[in-house]
Amino acid sequence: MPTGTPTPRVAFVLGGGGVLGATQVGMLRALLEAGRRPSMVVGTSVGALNGAAIAADPSAHGVEVLAALWTALSDSGMFSGSLLSQAGRLARHRTHLHSAAPLRRLLGENLPERFEDLAVPFQCVAASIERATAHWFSTGPLADAVLASCAVPGLLPPVEIGGEHFLDGGLVHSIPVGRALALGATEIYVLHVGRIERPLVPPKSPWDLGLVAFEIARRHRFVEEMSTLPPEVRAHVLPSGEDNAPLISLRYRSTADVASRVERGYQATAAYLAGLPGADAGGRPDADAGGLPGADAGGRRAAGANGRPASGAGGRSGADNAGRPAADEGG
């Protein structure tokens, strides 16, 4: 009869965040360098793009390909164009400022053709307009599904697949931890873009009120799913390395900070992994330590808020021992 600790089913969960999603490239590099390979990948919005790329090749080389894709996105000018040309497109289509053609072309050139061609099982989510619900893609053409998940309202047009129209997956799942649980994950690495590290405070202006209301709508599902994780599931909310990630980025066309965001995400996550109990200096699970990677002698996950190991803690990263999000995480 088999004995010992069962092999964990490791999920990489990638949230949305537009151009801030470059942070996830650095996080992925740190995870894979530390020998943390996913059994499954789930993503939403820009996390669907990053997730599909790493599911195609979950290796250091795959991260290099993904970084090159981000460079191509920067050079493609997909969000370029004069105010006059944008106004003309908005007048013609009335729903979006930019064409999806450049992004569709890059996805077709850099991703496998179908979900079935990926090295690791991958799912991404988009919001169905007709059914007003989340739709998870797991089979069939890959580029169309990722494009649907990335279709930010107002910036890109809805994507039609099978007679149904889809918008950005972040409308229904900002960080889809619950999907990883439904797929049987027992160890979860949450790759976000830094917004959830910002605590929310009572608003002092109409603009602040709008930001806080929008962030509560975006964040509440993630907070609820994290607070109700089963005790046997280990979850890590990886640190982003961002000191002040904007709740809403109005500079969605700016790619000047892509390289620095990648590096900050890498450094913060590498330091976090190296600090896990049972990990060596490079963040790799110590084969002589026994038990699950990053677990203490009792098999409990020892990780604290903001990616710092918590002394004697048995909770989840960014959560207290009762499973509540830590106060300095902001959810």
Catalytic residue list: 45, 168
10 phi/psi in degrees, rounded to 5: -90, 125
**Which stretch of DSSP H or E encloses residue 136?**
strand 133-137
CA angle at residue 288 from 284 to 291, to 5 degrees? 80
Q: Three-state SS for 278?
A: coil
Query: Six-digit token pair at 104?
Result: 């569709």
Query: Six-digit token pair at 190?
Result: 């949450």
Q: For residue 236, what are the contacts with CB-CB under 8 A and spacing of at least 6?
A: 188, 189, 190, 272, 294, 301, 303, 316, 317
Spatial distance between the Cα atoms of 180 and 319, rounded to a whole number of angstroms: 18
Q: How many helices (H) and strands (E) does the chain have?
A: 9, 8
Residue type for position 133: T
Residue type for position 316: R
